[in-house]
Amino acid sequence: MNAAGIGVDAGSTVVKACAVTAAGSRIWQHVELTEPRLEEQARRIAALAREQAGAAPLVATGYGRKLVAGAERAITEITCHARGVFAELGSGGTVVDIGGQDSKVISVGADGSVRNFAMNDKCAAGTGRFLEVTAARLRLAVEEIGAMALAAAEEVPISSTCAVFAESEIVSLIARGAALEAIVRGLHRSLVARLASLVRSLGIVEPVALSGGVARNPAIAAFLAEALGCEVKLPEAPQLMGAYGAALLALD
Amino acid sequence: MSIEGALRYYLGTGIGKGVLRFERLRNEWRLRHRAPKTSSPFSPPLSTSPWLKELISRHYLTGRYADAHRKVAWVTSGAPVEFLKALGYYLLYPENHGAVCGIRRRGEELCQAAEEAGYSRDICSYARTDLGSLLSGRTPVGRLPKPDLLLCCTNICQTVLFWYRVLAAHFRVPLVIIDTPFIYSTAPAHAVDFVQRQLELGVETAERVAGRSIDPAELERVTRRSREAVELWMRVLERARHVPAPITAFDEFIHMGPIVEMRGDRATVDYYRALLATLDLRIARGTGALKQERIRLIWDNLPIWYRMRGLSELLARHGATLVASTYTNAWGELAALIDPSDPMRSAARVYLHPILNRGTGHKLDTIQRLATDYAAHGVILHSDRSCKPYSVGQMDQRERLSARGIPALLLEADHNDPRAFADEQAENRIQAFLEMIPS
Ligand code: SF4
């Protein structure tokens, strides 16, 4: 067992980092947008982490995991998110991780290990990118659309789960005079429908918990709970779960 | 057939064979004298690999000149070919040619050529590769001989039916279709009768095109050699039950060339006998195909031809390898049904039973049996965008395998069209899957 552990989650949109004590409590965390020169960025962030946690072992995860110099191991987000959420919630269950580039549903065993997982197809349907693209089309900030969707009184159905097709669907809805709020609500519903079918494909094992940056959008948790018919838990810092899990794995 | 044609055939193949033999000897020498790479996770290549290369190259070399002197038939991979062999036909398998194009990374360009002619991207990438090659005249094997006859058996899919009709219209040659009713457990007698009757009609057509009658003794000989080769192939596969496995499914995908394309040839029997001896030597020495074998996996569906090396290296980095596959197994599992003393009846029975002509339950049972027999830790189900009959049911199969304690991964790709494959995402899924398997 090491005295401390560092996790760096080099995602496609955001780089997250975290340091934990030997007991597993978070002592430091850091989040910034992914830069084109990820390798340099990761080196800088690792140095920052080492200032906080000393010469602790480092585990890298995320799409850029192989670019993180000085990492003892590179482990997939699936294993890391499972570990992070397990530590946070203290039990196994189902983790729904919505990332910028892909979404995953992970079935976590009572010991925190991955039992099974499913991921979205090779496209942006069901991912954070879907919301980003469609929000941009509506000239809305991605941070505000969740609250907007929840507050909307009406909802128009969006049949496309494909980000590209949804964009053109929006254009025609606007042309037909649909309310912006109603479209936004419909978009969330469409994203969640895709996620819910992914969850069902693995089988719902409660508790269901969200992780990943998109989980901060309040409409996602609310709609997913509705779609699955069960409570959906939200960790305190969903975006950090991958880095946190990586840091915990660094302790092993 | 003209004298000039015969001359071209014997001269071309004769010189070519000499060159190929020289290459084989040189490669064998290199293999014996080259210091093994210590950094590689793999053991040195199988000592019979240069021989295999010679065998397959010779097959395509003969093909180059075949139509100048011999009758040529283009056939589907699961077609009953013994009667054509007995009649002296040179056989070309467009699917195997497709695989060669895939391995040499020519699949995309040839698929595109077919798409430009109006063939949909939803059509099997073997069909698109073949039609693209036909329309553009491009092939990595030099030249394909023109067919005098086409033989299409629907025991693998319905795609081949339409594909071969296109070929028949293109080449204006007779098309023999063997329609095989779908089988859930074992074939009822009326289904065997039905296929046998079609085979008999097929023989008549093939005789007419060849201008000669079939010699029953020759048909029996070819069938006997087919059975011998298929039995040997099965034994080759079974050697991978050993831990560590002396051969991986990646090797087998390459080594299956002769059993598909040259079943019924003496050379095929000789080759597999030598391969078997090499594997036994590896087992006796405790040598595995992978130096450090930790995780043993089963593969379902066709290989991803253009990423074989990348995938095998990725798995090897995690101490994992493929020890068996339903695909390579399909060429061996029917050995017992082949009866040389009654070639037509037995062909009807054998060619009714390939894995793709049977229910998905049979495939699930096969995977499970392979997992047990080969002491596997998990299964990769390649969801092949092209091959619908092979991929249907995999979602349920994954669930059922998981429920029985065999972890399974669904990997989306396409066997010949790299545009349907995303490297990063595939790697992520595979690595996560391997992390999931306790070791
Ligand atoms: S669809 Fe499948 S069985 Fe049919 S030709 Fe293509 S790969 Fe072969």
Place of tokens 């054509």: B84
- pLDDT at residue A124, rounded to an integer: 67
Q: What value of ipTM does the predicted structure carry?
A: 0.82
**Coil vs helix vs strand at A8:** strand
Is the CB of B390 inside a 6 Å radius of any atom of ligand 1? yes
To test the contact with chain B by mutation, choose from A73, A95, A108, A119 the residue with the greatest count of B C-beta atoms within 10 A, namely: A119
CB contact (8 A) between residue B407 and residue A117: no
Q: Does A201 touch chain B (CB under 8 A)?
A: yes
Instruction: Say if residue A164's pLDDT is above 80.
Output: no
The answer for A 109-138 residues in CB contact with B (under 8 A) is 113-119, 121-122
Max mean pLDDT among A157-171, B27-41, B257-271 falls in: B257-271
Q: How confident is the model at residue B9 (pLDDT cuts 50, 70, 90)?
A: confident
Determine the Cα–Cα distance for residues B59 and B102; give it in Å rounded to an integer. 18
Distance (Å, whole) CA A73 – CA B158 = 47
Which 3 state secondary structure label does DSSP give B144? coil
* CB B159 less than 6 A from any atom of ligand 1: yes
Question: Do residue B425 and residue A115 have CB atoms under 8 angstroms apart?
Answer: no
**d(CA B384, ligand 1 centre) in Å:** 10
Residue B153 CA to residue B344 CA, distance in Å, equals 15
Q: What is residue A122's predicted lDDT score, i.e. its pLDDT? A: 61
Q: In this structure, which residue's CA is closest to atom 1 in ligand 1? A: B387
The residue of chain A with its CA nearest to that of B420 is A122
Q: Which of B386, B414, B415 to mutate to test the pocket of ligand 1 (most atoms within 8 A of CB)?
A: B386
Residue A26 has pLDDT above 60, yes or no: yes
Q: Which SS3 state, helix, strand or coil, does residue A213 take?
A: helix
Grade residue A142 by pLDDT with cuts at 50, 70 and 90: confident
Identify which of A179, A175, A173, A188 has the alpha carbon closest to the alpha carbon of residue A135: A188
pLDDT at A1: 54
pLDDT digits (tens, 9 = 90+) for A199-216: 998 888 999 999 988 888
Answer whether A114 sits within 8 Å of B432, measured CB to CB: yes
Token pair 């530590």: residue: A87
Q: Give residue B32's pLDDT band: very low, low, confident or very high (50, 70, 90).
A: confident
How do residues B312-352 score in pLDDT, each as one tens digit? 999 999 999 999 999 999 988 887 788 899 999 999 999 99
How many CB atoms within 10 Å of residue B61? 21
Q: For residue B35, what pLDDT band results from cuts at 50, 70 and 90?
A: confident
Residue-level pLDDT at B331: 84
pLDDT of residue A121: 67
CA-nearest residue for atom 4, ligand 1, is B157
Q: Pick from B377, B433, B434, B439: which is nearest to B405 by CA?
A: B377
Contact call for residues B416 and B306 (beta carbons, < 8 A): yes
Residue B439 has pLDDT above 70, yes or no: no
C-alpha span between B421 and A243 (Å, rounded): 28
pLDDT of residue A10: 93
In this complex, the residue of B410, B425, B432 whose CB is nearest that of residue A79 is B432
The number of beta carbons lying within 10 Å of the beta carbon of residue B257 is 20
Say what the pLDDT of residue A28 is.
Answer: 92
Size (chain A), residues: 252
- pLDDT band with cut points at 50, 70 and 90 for residue A126: confident
Is the CB–ligand 1 distance for residue B433 below 6 Å? Answer: no
Looking at chain B, the whole-number percentage of residues with pLDDT higher than 90 is 81
Per DSSP, the three-state class of B360 is helix
Q: CA separation (Å) from B369 to B337, B364, B408?
A: 19, 9, 14
Nearest neighbour of A114 by CB, restricted to B420, B428, B436: B436
Residue B41 CA, ligand 1 centroid: distance in Å: 33
pLDDT mean over B143-148: 95
**Shortest CA gap B436–chain A (Å):** 6
Q: B428 contacts in A (CB within 8 Å)?
A: 63, 76-78, 102, 119
Top-confidence residue, B91 or B13: B91
pTM: 0.90
Average pLDDT over residues B39-67: 92
Q: How many CB atoms lie within 10 A of CB A121?
A: 16
Ligand 1 nearest atom to the CA of residue B159, by list position: 4
Do residues B408 and B379 lie in contact, with contact meaning Cβ atoms separated by under 8 Å?
Answer: yes
- B379-408, pLDDT tens digit by residue? 999 999 999 999 999 989 998 998 899 999
Highest mean pLDDT: which of A112-116, A236-240, A248-252, B379-383? B379-383
Does the beta-carbon distance from A119 to B422 stay under 8 Å? no
Give the contacts of A235 (CB within 8 A, at least 6 positions apart). A84, A85, A88, A89, A209, A210, A211, A215, A241
Mean pLDDT estimate for chain B: 93
Does ligand 1 have an atom closer than 6 angstroms to the CB of B157? yes
- Which pLDDT score is estimated for A2? 63
Facing residues of B381 across strands? Answer: B300, B410
Task: Decide if B422 touches A, using CB distance below 8 A.
Answer: yes
- Tens of pLDDT along B160-189? 999 999 999 999 999 999 999 999 888 999
pLDDT of the residue at A137: 80
Query: How far apart, in whole angstroms, are the C-alpha atoms of residue B239 and residue B275?
Result: 11
Instruction: Indicate the burial class of A154 (C-beta count within 10 angstroms; 0-12, 13-18, 19 or more).
Output: exposed
Which residue do the tokens 């020169």 mark? A37
Q: What is the mean pLDDT of residues A88-97?
A: 91
* Per-residue pLDDT, B189: 95
Q: What's the confidence (pLDDT) of residue B154?
A: 96
CA–centroid distance, residue B48 to ligand 1 (Å): 29
Q: Which of A114, A117, A122 sits opposite B422 (nearest CB)?
A: A122
Question: How far apart, in whole angstroms, are the C-alpha atoms of residue B217 and residue B221?
Answer: 6
Site of tokens 């085979």: B199
Least confident of A179-188, B3-12, B78-87: B3-12
